[in-house]
Chain A
């Protein structure tokens, strides 16, 4: 197969801001996937509002059947469709535009996109018509309509096809640029794509037999096997997000302050650790289950001796230190934190990046480790602490990072001016603070034992009743405030995106750029002493908080009933 280095120029436009060659065929595919991501996000956000107003029993909005239906809808649209469509858009765009190369096969890209959209429509239809009240996890032997499983399979196949074009694009780039290394952002996305393949294959292994079972062709699905393999899809698919949003962090540090990883070797090593260790996280969901041994649990739940947590902690230093070093080069050298104080906080992409890192680390990360340790899982499993953790990780971390980078995608990918740009600087704060309050109240409510996925914690109609500690009333109110704030932030962002993309003014060139792109800063060849003392102090604060939180939870566990 000849590589079109010449003769295909009419496929390309040259970006007048960045100078990148953009394959317009890839661009269209990326645009459609990005639009689907926002559509999914909108459904998820509306569902989220209904759920918040139902679980807060002061209002208790939805009836019981619709609560579980909307919960299923929310789970799949937020955790699967929004994020994966966004990542597919990023994979296609990054592997062509950022590498100055062409789309390997627009045809395969379109087939994948269409399959994914059909899958998305089928799953949403099945849920809304009441044919799949099985929640996101659809644990067998709960059974949904075959169309639900078929939709998931179609979506997965579509996603896999697009991921395969990403790898093919990298091969073209490799032939055109022998001996070169990938840009760090694309390298991080490559890690995400590799994890995506592992994840989607797990999904196929479990959804295909479950589909046949729902048709009556297979007689029986073992519930333990289902749960084990399903979480091979369920948790690692969130690790695609971690990899992708960390890549976005590096990108945003570069775009907003011109920061670069102070040691790319280290940052890349951390991405490799993700690939090696992060995909064993199925175990996080089986820690208090029968059927698997403690040796298996401890090894897998710790991501192979916490190598993936170690990797995240490497990024926790590498990204802020990139910002700090760039800011110091600009002359903000006073004390430990002048670089941070004088950072471009008015740039929504910068404030979004910082909030995303803080929420992901301090809320998502720390609670994730505590929930995922074999013994402390006893006091967290299936309580509200679990959504508390992933609200911090996926909503505060991934979603906020993706929302922030979108402020660059609107002009550079969609070639539109950002509508209501003055509003943009508030959006990350409203959303971020809302999510932080929501996640923390979730976590605390969970610590009081309140179950997740539960329509009525007054147990109306049950043979007994039980009243949770009345202190929880306060945290429920906080939960509602946080939830509503986060929904407002998300809706503002969606309005901005939709108005810009479909009704916005065209972006005619660099003079129309509303969101600033920082000049890159020259890096030193050698380090003398500490490269980023401010960041060093921040990560020390993090590790102290981390260790204290683990210790508190083990202390609390030790006063429970004895069990073995």
Chain B
């Protein structure tokens, strides 16, 4: 009884058959879900990275500038366009309120993304494939991507970063 102390002997009362079966089933599903995440880590191809380096905004800014200078192929709306070779390290810088550079990648090739912020937290939301990661200042998050589709993709900022948050959109072009 929810409002009064339970009756004498409540602790010894046997559990009903249906409640017992349900609890067993619920427990099995719970444990299965737990191991499923581990199984997915071992066998599947979409897992959040756990490679992180410490950095500083200054250092990361310089790394990105060097990367842009090395592989720059043009400019779009004032943002440098960069075409790194497959398999290379790619630097993507987030700051209030833009992403740079624009990246040109090749479908099916692997790229080692380094993503960090110059100021506050940002969100890396790749559209129209829907993949979302967090971007921090002072932490270089390393995500190894292999684009499996070609076309134009956009990086929407999906962590509130200030008044111009809605203007923060970047671009990735994936060539066949």
* A contacts, CB < 8 Å to B: 18, 64-65, 68, 98, 133, 135, 139, 141-142, 177, 180-185, 222-224, 227, 247, 250-251, 253-254, 260-266, 286-294, 297-298, 301-302, 305-307, 309-310, 313-314, 317-318, 321, 369, 373-375, 377-383, 447-449, 451-457, 459-466, 468-469, 520, 523, 525-527, 529-533, 535-536, 539, 543, 546-547, 550, 554, 557-564
Contact = CB atoms under 8 A, between A and B. Distances in A.
Interface stretch (B59-67, B82-90, B144-152): B144-152
Interface in B49-93: 49-50, 52, 76-79
A183 B34 contact: no
Given A261-B2, A462-B168, A142 B48 contact: no
Contacts of A264: 6, 10, 13
Given A181-B6, A184-B1, A543-B25, A558 B167 contact: no
B126 A266 contact: no
A464 B21 CA distance: 56
Interface string B11-38: 1011111110111011101110110111
Contact of A464 (B9, B27, B171): B171
Nearest to A134: B160
Contacts of A266: 15, 19, 23
Given A184-B2, A306-B31, A564-B144, A381 B134 contact: yes
A532 B141 CA distance: 51
Given A183-B1, A251-B3, A561 B129 contact: yes
A543 B120 CA distance: 41
On chain B, which size bracket covers the interface? Answer: 35 or more
Interface of B: 1-7, 9-11, 13-19, 21-23, 25-27, 29-31, 33-34, 36-38, 40-41, 44-50, 52, 76-79, 97-98, 119-121, 123, 125-134, 136-141, 143-149, 154, 156-171
Contacts of A525: 9, 13
B132 A223 contact: no
A532 B37 contact: no
Contacts of B76: 463
Nearest to B135: A290
B163 A554 contact: no
Contacts of A463: 76-79, 98, 167, 169-171
Contacts of A142: 120-121, 160-162
A558 B132 contact: no
A529 B167 CA distance: 63
A137 to B, nearest CB: 8
B79 to A, nearest CB: 6
Nearest to B45: A562
Kindly list the 8 A-B residue pairs having the minimum CB-CB distance in the complex, ordered from nearest. Answer: A306-B30, A451-B158, A531-B16, A449-B130, A290-B141, A313-B26, A290-B52, A527-B16
Contacts of B165: 68, 453-455
Given A262-B16, A375-B48, A98 B3 contact: yes
Contacts of B1: 183-184, 254, 260, 520
A3 B11 CA distance: 29
A133 B163 contact: yes
Contact of B143 (A527, A535, A536, A563): A563
Given A286-B134, A301-B37, A382-B134, 19 more contacts: A64-B166, A142-B162, A184-B1, A185-B3, A223-B138, A294-B47, A317-B23, A374-B37, A381-B134, A449-B130, A462-B167, A527-B14, A532-B19, A562-B145, A562-B148, A563-B46, A563-B48, A563-B49, A563-B131
Contacts of A455: 165-166
A264 B16 CA distance: 12
Contact of B146 (A265, A452, A561): A561
A265 B13 contact: yes
Contacts of B148: 559-562
23 contacts: A139-B121, A183-B3, A223-B138, A263-B13, A264-B6, A288-B133, A313-B26, A313-B30, A374-B47, A382-B134, A383-B158, A451-B123, A451-B156, A461-B164, A463-B77, A463-B167, A531-B16, A532-B18, A532-B19, A536-B18, A558-B45, A562-B145, A563-B47
Contacts, number: 317
Contacts of A564: 45, 47, 49, 143-144
B17 A529 contact: yes
B79 A224 contact: no
Nearest to B125: A451
Listed residue (B2, B15, B38, B52) with the most chain A CB atoms within 10 angstroms of its CB: B2
A457 to B, nearest CB: 7
Listed residue (A292, A381, A463) with the most chain B CB atoms within 10 angstroms of its CB: A463
B10 A265 contact: yes
Contacts of A535: 18
Given A293-B50, A379-B131, A310 B2 contact: no
A298 B125 contact: no
Contact of A183 (B4, B29, B36, B159): B4
B163 A290 contact: no
Contacts of B157: 451
A309 B32 CA distance: 12
Contacts of A185: 2-3
B42 to A, nearest CB: 11
Nearest to B164: A461
B131 A291 contact: no
B6 to A, nearest CB: 5
A558 B3 contact: no
Listed residue (A314, A468, A527) with the most chain B CB atoms within 10 angstroms of its CB: A527
A452 to B, nearest CB: 7
A460 B167 contact: yes
Contacts of A454: 156, 158, 165-166
A182 B9 CA distance: 14
A551 to B, nearest CB: 10
B91 to A, nearest CB: 15
Nearest to A378: B131
Contact of A373 (B10, B37, B98, B121): B37
B169 A532 contact: no
Contact of B121 (A223, A288, A302, A560): A223
Nearest to A373: B37
